[in-house]
């Protein structure tokens, strides 16, 4: 037997296999996942595994290597999060999210750091050798909400979209703050004296790390979109580029000490739209499927490793320090959310309610990022205490908060995610209001979110699309495509009901397909609205309407200063529909 | 800049990116791939890359690490080959393939080894220090035809199915022989004296390595199929199991010094049927797509690395040795094919023609496996000579043979792969003959291939399927499914032509769906046969007929001693069709 030779890939494969089998195991019993979140079960499996390894070898099981975590396990999860990020609620709440992520995290870091330093001054706790700087360093790693943990728990409780994006967006974007503060305090710990300049440089660094990450990500995203322009003859490697470029953006950002998480999210959000238009449908399925699969395996491995790494002799136990760490984490987060939301609500009509605030504060779960950071700390005599405190905080948030948050959401009657997609009517009205507001903002000279969105769309269609999309020269009218799709669906239904050619067929769906609001009416007045208005079709209709309404608004004489009336597009659309109509008669 | 930290994943990603971009580059100019095989172009890119690295660093560029090749690059390609192996021609020609793979490879090893030893005796060549054993060791690594190279070239020249499977099957299955002989001679080189026992043990080892590989592969394949029974609630990780289990089979085989290639092929061929029945359609698309993508990237990387590794100072140049190696590789392969085919043709009605023999001999391409094996040789003073000879042989076969084989195939007018799929009529007759022959063999007591095939099918449906398939209890009649599919297709065509409800609809496709030969007739007598008989549908029809005919044959009173007449299945099928008919009226 030559085990040495195959050891590395063999053990990696076995770990992934264990993770996958554990996942299958939980889902075999349908009741289990509805009571206990999967993350708790996985940590539990990890604890058992760790116990077995510890018992057999009589030495601590291997802890999760921080490099493996940051280089291999974290990127797939963040990529998945960025690629499937609902962009509308994200950009609508970007101000609030940034406030929570930046100011909130700084607040937590200093709050926890200083109050723990206060605890260290109590003589009977025997903690006087922990300096203020070490406490702040510890605060910087324990303060950040963890995207992996948040995602694992919030995916199962289905709170409303806004609440979800607030917590989840914060957990992703606070990475820039965490990176800066953690590295800053770590370098301060090693410096003999700290000058004011260093502190100021730290503040400046934050902008470099965050904005640099965004720029790196967007650059790679654009290159990726551009590359997929040329894959028409070799479809089979298309999915590869999405993974390669986003991973490269992460690694490049890490290499320059920028925020890798921010970079990969910017890359994924930037490229998605163009890549999807360029690649084939099968490549798209593969990308979606593989991304979900990969992130789900990474996620599983992280929680199992968290459990395994908990067992062992890495811990120094000090009741007061650990107890107060948990308490301060809870208190400072709650206070931070209260204060920040107070300011947010003063400037917004659509306020964050008290219940929402409670869930935001309570959903501040800590996870594997803290855990990896604490192991990356330079060696000093109280490192094991920090490891113990971090482990307890993570287990507390994952088990206690993770398991009680669902009952609490039910108890408080927090607004849930709506089960049904918004109706076509709602969708049209939302779009209409968007355009109206963009126009009002344009006239009044107010540079608000609608103004910028409109400008971005204009820039996109005028320059980016021509450069990044392969088939921009031959735009297909998606309303015509929808019509064909609905007709086809209808025909299939008829065929399945066996009525093809027997029953008098209902009139074709599209009497006067243009303008679009009519298309909606003709769908609802059709003989079998309940069949056609199922969620799938609705979603498609909305997507298509969303795209077309934009195009129409831009091409008819509008408040926009950049376009002249009388562009050709509507005429072409009408012509296409006429041709189709003609063919069908 | 912290390059050290991200170096490993960064460089891997960059290499993969280079490979993918090179692939896209070639395909941008459509004429290039039709003249020069992709493998040549990739080696060429590698040579340039290697030259650049050599020029910049003034030291040899890194050679392809044998471990990386065998553990990470080779498995995806072999998995792809095994998973998409056309099983019918493979099993029909298994005897011939094994003869070429086992006897042919041994013939080549000893032929090349002994004649090179003869060359070494010529004093003026200054090669007297190369012993017989070293020549045999060299013969064992240079003799084996390489699956990666064969696949890359034969995929582009489209020779007939039998010829393709003969060369390709040989290149896969000779791995067991190569592994045994290579390890045997290597251990002999290190032994002080060789006993007869050792030689006998070597012969015995061959069976262990080959059959052990098959058993390991089949075991993992069955476990994999069994696992996918339980993934219904968690579809997203289904594709993972195909990759994990087949990789585990490869690693396990390698660990026990068995043939990893044989193991992974047995695993893939064994699990395919059951896994595909258990998993969802989207998972299936993902598996197919990802496997193709992965193997294509691996393949690209291997050829690029081959080029890069060629540049440098690893070579000792000795004209006679290198020249005669190339010559002997060609001569012994040609002789081997001639002699073995002579025996094969004596026992087969469907003979291997002279042209086929020429292409088999000429298609004996060497590739990256030889290259990795020669670097794995223990250090001795003539290792660099072996490396040089191997490199030349590989480059000669890839460039000269690879580039001339397509013109030769055209010139000799070798029978090509038929472009169109066989008609339904042909398919039915082939199936009919299969069953007839199985019956004849059963009656006459001759244990031929049809007899075993029939027994295997019986065992499969009686035991394996029940154990490995999730939905075996509710078998769906696939003829009914086909009917539904055709109706649906028909309806879509109508809808697309705009004739839904206007034109008098042609009668439903299925007048009397049972027995199956009628289904064929009704398709061809339909109004628009050219639409329905396109390759896609035909393929489906064939697949379905193939499965159903088997079922019908087994369930009506047959020559089979295991079944009693009057089982319920045909009745059920008929009932289902009746129900469907009823619903449609």
Q: What is the pLDDT of residue B179?
A: 82
- Count other C-beta atoms under 10 Å from residue B12's C-beta: 14
- Residues in Cβ contact with B476 at an 8 Å cutoff, skipping those fewer than 6 apart: none
Q: Please tell me the pTM assigned to this model.
A: 0.79
Residue B50 to residue A547: CA distance in whole angstroms:
49
- Count other C-beta atoms under 10 Å from residue B58's C-beta: 7
For tokens 């000093």, name the residue.
Answer: A380
Whether chain A has a CB inside 8 Å of the CB on B1: the answer is yes
State both tokens at B512: 């009397």
Residue percentage of chain A with pLDDT more than 90: 20
Are residues B428 and B380 located together in one domain of the fold? no
The DSSP secondary structure of A152-219, one letter per residue, reads HHHHHH-B-HHHHHHHHHHHHHHHHHHHHHHHHHHHHHHSSS--HHHHHHHHHHHHHHHHHHHHHHHH
Whether chain A has a CB inside 8 Å of the CB on B483: the answer is no
Q: How far apart are the first and last CA of chain B?
A: 74
Mean pLDDT of chain A: 79
Q: What is the pLDDT of residues A192-209, one digit of tens each?
A: 777 777 778 878 888 888
Residue B267 to residue B216: CA distance in whole angstroms:
8
Residues within 8 A of B (CB atoms), A 545-574 only: none
Q: What is the pLDDT of residue B248?
A: 94
Whether chain A has a CB inside 8 Å of the CB on B293: the answer is yes
B572: pLDDT strictly greater than 60: no
Are residues B347 and B435 located together in one domain of the fold? no
Are residues B28 and A492, on separate chains, in Cβ contact within 8 Å? no
Q: What is the pLDDT of residue B576?
A: 52
Whether chain A has a CB inside 8 Å of the CB on B20: the answer is yes
Residue A493 to residue A490: CA distance in whole angstroms:
5
Are residues A10 and B494, on separate chains, in Cβ contact within 8 Å? no
For tokens 């063919």, name the residue.
Answer: A583
DSSP conformation class of A492: H
The answer to whether position A419 is within a domain reads: no
Whether chain B has a CB inside 8 Å of the CB on A68: the answer is no
- Residues in Cβ contact with A155 at an 8 Å cutoff, skipping those fewer than 6 apart: none
CB A412 within 8 A of CB A358: yes
The DSSP secondary structure of A52-94, one letter per residue, reads HHHHHHSSPPPPPPHHHIIIIIHHHHHHHHHHT--HHHHHHTH
The answer to whether position A7 is within a domain reads: no
A513: pLDDT strictly greater than 70: no
Are residues B488 and A495, on separate chains, in Cβ contact within 8 Å? yes
Q: What is the pLDDT of residue B521?
A: 37
Residue B422, strand partner residues: none
A180: pLDDT strictly greater than 80: yes
- B300 — alpha (psi -120 to 50), left (phi > 0) or beta? alpha
Q: What is the pLDDT of residues B59-97, one digit of tens each?
A: 767 777 888 888 999 999 999 988 988 888 898 888 899
Band of the pLDDT at A529, cuts 50, 70, 90? Answer: very low
List the CATH number of the domain containing B281: 1.20.1530.20
Q: What is the pLDDT of residue B220?
A: 95
Chain A to chain B Cβ contacts (< 8 Å):
194
Whether chain B has a CB inside 8 Å of the CB on A29: the answer is no
Q: What is the pLDDT of residue B478?
A: 56
- Residues in Cβ contact with A238 at an 8 Å cutoff, skipping those fewer than 6 apart: A228, A231, A279, A280, A283, A287
Distance (Å) from the C-alpha of residue B567 to the closest C-alpha of chain A?
30
The answer to whether position A494 is within a domain reads: no
Peptide bond before residue B430 is cis, with ω within 30 degrees of 0: no
Are residues B326 and B369 located together in one domain of the fold? yes
Are residues A348 and A461 located together in one domain of the fold? no
The DSSP secondary structure of A364-421, one letter per residue, reads ----HHHHHHHHTSPP-TTHHHHHHHHHHHHHIIIIIIHHHHHHHHHHHTPPBPPSSP
Q: Please list every residue in chain B whose beta carbon sits closer than 8 Å to the beta carbon of residue A496.
A: 484, 487-488
Residue B159, strand partner residues: B416
A382 Cα distance to chain centroid: 35
For residue A392, give its domain range: 59-291+319-412
Whether chain A has a CB inside 8 Å of the CB on B498: the answer is yes
The answer to whether position A560 is within a domain reads: no
Helix (H, G, I), strand (E, B) or coil at B1: coil
The answer to whether position A273 is within a domain reads: yes
A106: pLDDT strictly greater than 60: yes
Are residues A201 and A282 located together in one domain of the fold? yes
Residue B7 to residue A251: CA distance in whole angstroms:
9
Between B545 and B305, residue with greater pLDDT: B305
Q: What is the pLDDT of residue A184?
A: 86
Q: What is the pLDDT of residue B224?
A: 92
Q: What is the pLDDT of residue A509?
A: 43
Whether chain A has a CB inside 8 Å of the CB on B584: the answer is yes
Interface test with B, best of A1, A5, A6, A264 (most B CBs within 10 A): A6
Residue A159, strand partner residues: A416
B440 Cα distance to chain centroid: 31
Band of the pLDDT at A552, cuts 50, 70, 90? Answer: very low
Across the interface, which of A230, A484, A495 has its CB nearest the CB of B28? Answer: A230
The answer to whether position B327 is within a domain reads: yes
| A484-488, B358-362, B568-572: least confident range | B568-572
Q: What is the pLDDT of residues B270-287, one digit of tens each?
A: 998 888 888 887 888 888
Q: What is the pLDDT of residues A336-395, one digit of tens each?
A: 999 999 998 888 878 888 888 999 999 889 988 888 888 888 888 888 889 899 999 999
Q: What is the pLDDT of residue A528?
A: 41
Band of the pLDDT at B104, cuts 50, 70, 90? Answer: very high
Burial of A140 (0-12, 13-18, 19+ CB in 10 A): buried
Q: What is the pLDDT of residue A246?
A: 94
Q: What is the pLDDT of residue A334?
A: 94
B348: pLDDT strictly greater than 70: yes
Between B466 and A269, residue with greater pLDDT: A269
Are residues A407 and A431 located together in one domain of the fold? no
Between A67 and A448, residue with greater pLDDT: A67
Are residues A492 and B496, on separate chains, in Cβ contact within 8 Å? no
Are residues A144 and A224 located together in one domain of the fold? yes
Q: What is the pLDDT of residues A46-66, one digit of tens each?
A: 899 888 888 887 776 777 788
Nearest Cα to Cα of residue A247 among A84, A65, A83: A83
Whether chain B has a CB inside 8 Å of the CB on A440: the answer is no
Q: Please list every residue in chain B whose beta carbon sits closer than 8 Å to the beta carbon of residue A230.
A: 24, 28
Q: Please list every residue in chain B whose beta carbon sits closer than 8 Å to the beta carbon of residue A28.
A: 230, 233
The helix (run of H) or strand (run of E) holding residue B481 is: helix B478-496
Domain end position, chosen among A377, A392, A412:
A412
Residue B19 to residue B26: CA distance in whole angstroms:
11
Residue B364 to residue B402: CA distance in whole angstroms:
10
The 3 state secondary structure assigned to A19-58 is HHHHHHHHHHCCHHHHHCCHHHHHHHHHHHHHHHHHHHHC
Q: What is the pLDDT of residue B389?
A: 92
For tokens 């012993």, name the residue.
Answer: B131
Are residues B293 and A239, on separate chains, in Cβ contact within 8 Å? yes
Largest CA distance in chain B: 92
B561: pLDDT strictly greater than 80: no
Mean of pLDDT values over A180-197: 81
Residue B531 to residue A109: CA distance in whole angstroms:
69
Burial of A162 (0-12, 13-18, 19+ CB in 10 A): middle
Residue B336 to residue B328: CA distance in whole angstroms:
12
Number of separate helices (H) and strands (E) present in chain A: 28, 0
Across the interface, which of B231, B247, B289 has its CB nearest the CB of A282? Answer: B289
User: Searching chain A, which residue's CA lies closest to the CA of residue B227?
Assistant: A21
Mean of pLDDT values over A509-527: 38
Residue B394 to residue B368: CA distance in whole angstroms:
8
Whether chain A has a CB inside 8 Å of the CB on B280: the answer is no
Peptide bond before residue A515 is cis, with ω within 30 degrees of 0: yes
Q: Please list every residue in chain A whose beta carbon sits closer than 8 Å to the beta carbon of residue B20.
A: 237, 240-241, 244
Across the interface, which of B231, B254, B292 has its CB nearest the CB of A24? Answer: B231
Residue A416, strand partner residues: A159
A145: pLDDT strictly greater than 70: yes
State both tokens at B268: 């893939």
Band of the pLDDT at B324, cuts 50, 70, 90? Answer: very high
Q: What is the pLDDT of residue A503?
A: 38
Burial of B345 (0-12, 13-18, 19+ CB in 10 A): middle
Are residues B208 and B250 located together in one domain of the fold? yes
The DSSP secondary structure of B227-290, one letter per residue, reads HGGG-TT-GGGHHHHHHHHHHHHHHHHHHTTS-HHHHHHHHHHHHHHHHHHHS-HHHHHHHHHH
CB B516 within 8 A of CB B545: yes
Are residues B434 and B345 located together in one domain of the fold? no
Q: What is the pLDDT of residues A261-320, one digit of tens each?
A: 999 999 999 998 888 888 887 888 888 888 888 888 888 888 888 888 888 777 788 888
State both tokens at B540: 């489906």
Distance (Å) from the C-alpha of residue B383 to the closest C-alpha of chain A?
23
Q: What is the pLDDT of residue A496?
A: 61
Between B550 and A463, residue with greater pLDDT: A463
Are residues B172 and B266 located together in one domain of the fold? yes
Are residues A434 and A285 located together in one domain of the fold? no
The answer to whether position A204 is within a domain reads: yes
Residue percentage of chain A with pLDDT more than 70: 79
State both tokens at A572: 């072409």
The 3 state secondary structure assigned to B13-76 is HHHHHHHHHHHHHHHHCCHHHHHCCHHHHHHHHHHHHHHHHHHHHCCCCCCCCHHHHHHHHHHH
Band of the pLDDT at B534, cuts 50, 70, 90? Answer: low
Are residues B28 and A233, on separate chains, in Cβ contact within 8 Å? yes
B222: pLDDT strictly greater than 60: yes
Residue B264 to residue B124: CA distance in whole angstroms:
47
Interface test with B, best of A4, A10, A212, A246 (most B CBs within 10 A): A10
How many domains in chain B?
Answer: 2
DSSP conformation class of B237: G
Nearest Cα to Cα of residue B293 among A449, A329, A234, A203: A234
Residue A255 to residue A567: CA distance in whole angstroms:
48
| A197-201, A541-545, B325-329: least confident range | A541-545
Residue A108 to residue A144: CA distance in whole angstroms:
8
Are residues A343 and A439 located together in one domain of the fold? no
The answer to whether position A359 is within a domain reads: yes
Residue A203 to residue A181: CA distance in whole angstroms:
9
Residue B146 to residue B148: CA distance in whole angstroms:
6
Mean of pLDDT values over A165-186: 88
B246: pLDDT strictly greater than 90: yes
Across the interface, which of A1, A8, A227 has its CB nearest the CB of B255? Answer: A1
Between B549 and B43, residue with greater pLDDT: B43
Q: Please list every residue in chain A whose beta carbon sits closer than 8 Å to the beta carbon of residue B286.
A: 285-286, 289-290, 293
Residues within 8 A of A (CB atoms), B 331-360 only: none
CB B236 within 8 A of CB A293: yes
């Amino acid at each position: 037997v030559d085990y040495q030779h195959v050891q590395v890939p063999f053990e990696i494969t076995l770990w992934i296999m264990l993770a996958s089998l554990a996942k299958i195991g939980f889902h075999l019993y349908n009741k289990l996942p509805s009571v206990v979140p999967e993350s708790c079960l996985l940590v539990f499996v990890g604890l058992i595994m760790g116990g077995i390894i510890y018992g057999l070898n009589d030495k601590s099981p291997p802890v999760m290597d921080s490099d493996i975590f940051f280089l291999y396990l974290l990127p797939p999860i963040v990529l998945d999060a960025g690629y499937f990020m609902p962009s509308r609620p994200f950009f609508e709440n970007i101000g609030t999210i940034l406030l929570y992520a930046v100011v909130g995290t700084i607040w937590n870091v200093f709050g926890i750091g200083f109050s723990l330093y206060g605890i260290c001054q109590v003589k009977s706790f025997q903690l006087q050798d922990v300096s203020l700087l070490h406490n702040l360093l510890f605060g910087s790693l324990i303060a950040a909400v963890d995207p992996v943990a948040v995602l694992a728990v919030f995916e199962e409780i289905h709170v409303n979209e806004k609440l979800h994006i607030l917590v989840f967006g914060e957990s992703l974007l606070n990475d820039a703050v965490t990176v800066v503060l953690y590295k800053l305090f770590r370098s301060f710990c090693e410096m003999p004296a700290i000058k004011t300049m260093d502190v100021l440089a730290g503040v400046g660094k934050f902008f470099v790390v965050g904005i640099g990450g965004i720029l790196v990500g967007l650059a790679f995203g654009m290159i990726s979109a551009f590359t997929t322009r040329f894959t028409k003859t070799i479809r089979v490697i298309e999915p590869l580029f999405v993974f390669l470029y986003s991973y490269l953006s992460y690694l490049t950002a890490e290499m320059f000490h920028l925020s890798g998480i921010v970079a990969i999210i910017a890359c994924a959000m930037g490229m998605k739209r163009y890549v999807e238009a360029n690649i084939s449908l099968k490549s798209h399925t593969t990308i979606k499927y593989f991304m979900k699969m990969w992130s789900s395996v990474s996620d599983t491995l992280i929680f199992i490793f968290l459990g395994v790494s908990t067992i062992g002799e890495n811990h120094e136990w000090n009741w007061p320090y650990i107890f107060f760490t948990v308490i301060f984490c809870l208190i400072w987060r709650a206070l931070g959310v209260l204060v920040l939301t107070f300011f947010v609500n003063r400037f917004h009509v659509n306020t964050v309610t008290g219940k929402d605030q409670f869930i935001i504060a309570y959903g501040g779960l800590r996870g594997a990022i803290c855990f990896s950071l604490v192991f990356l700390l330079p060696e000093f005599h109280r490192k094991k205490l920090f490891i113990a405190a971090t482990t307890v905080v993570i287990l507390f948030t994952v088990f206690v908060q993770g398991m009680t948050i669902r009952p609490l959401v039910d108890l408080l009657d927090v607004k849930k995610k709506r089960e049904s997609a918004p109706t076509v009517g709602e969708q049209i009205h939302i779009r209409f209001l968007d355009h109206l507001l963009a126009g009002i903002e344009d006239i009044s000279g107010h540079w608000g979110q609608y103004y910028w969105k409109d400008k971005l769309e204009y820039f996109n269609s005028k320059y980016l699309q021509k450069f990044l999309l392969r088939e921009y020269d031959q735009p297909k009218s998606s309303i015509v495509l929808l019509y064909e799709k609905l007709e086809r669906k209808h025909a299939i239904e008829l065929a399945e009901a066996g009525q093809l050619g027997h029953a008098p067929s209902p009139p074709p769906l599209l009497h006067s397909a243009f303008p679009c609001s009519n298309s909606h009416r003709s769908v609802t007045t059709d003989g079998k609205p309940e069949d056609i208005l199922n969620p799938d079709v609705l979603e498609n209709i909305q997507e298509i309407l969303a795209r077309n309404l934009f195009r129409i608004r831009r091409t008819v004489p509008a408040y926009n200063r950049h376009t002249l009336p009388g562009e050709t597009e509507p005429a072409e659309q009408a012509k296409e529909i006429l041709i189709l109509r003609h063919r069908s008669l």
